[in-house]
Amino acid sequence: MDPIAELGLCFGIAVLLILLLQRFIREILRLWEQQNVNEVAPRILLPISTCPVCDGRLESHLMTRHLIVTHDMEVEKAAELVEVMRSEKAQSEE
């Protein structure tokens, strides 16, 4: 075989091996970072609100649904009530 052809073939194989090694290292690092994120990630505490109708406590993002389903309130009225509750809470935090 021609020495230049051998050199080209060796160079091509070396480049492919380097690319495969780089891809393998990236994949290992991605999996390692993902594992660390899952272990260290703190639980997100959702804000809790008190229902103005039944004084029950539930997560704030569920309040509108609670008012509509549990207390048979109209959608518009429930949305207005939740908006008033949120604005009062925002004012009290300031």
Short-list 85, 88, 80, CA closest to 52:
85
Same domain, 34 and 64: no
Number of domains composing the chain = 2
Co-location of 22 and 57 in the same domain? no
pLDDT 10s digits, 54-90? 988 988 889 999 999 999 999 999 999 999 988 888 7
Question: How far, in Å, CA of 92 to CA of 94, rounded?
Answer: 5
Encode pLDDT of 3-39 as tens digits.
888 889 999 999 999 999 999 999 998 888 877 665 5
On whether both 61 and 37 belong to a single domain, the answer is: no
- Count CB neighbours of 5 within 10 A: 9
Range of the structural domain that residue 53 is part of: 48-93
66 and 33 co-located in one domain: no
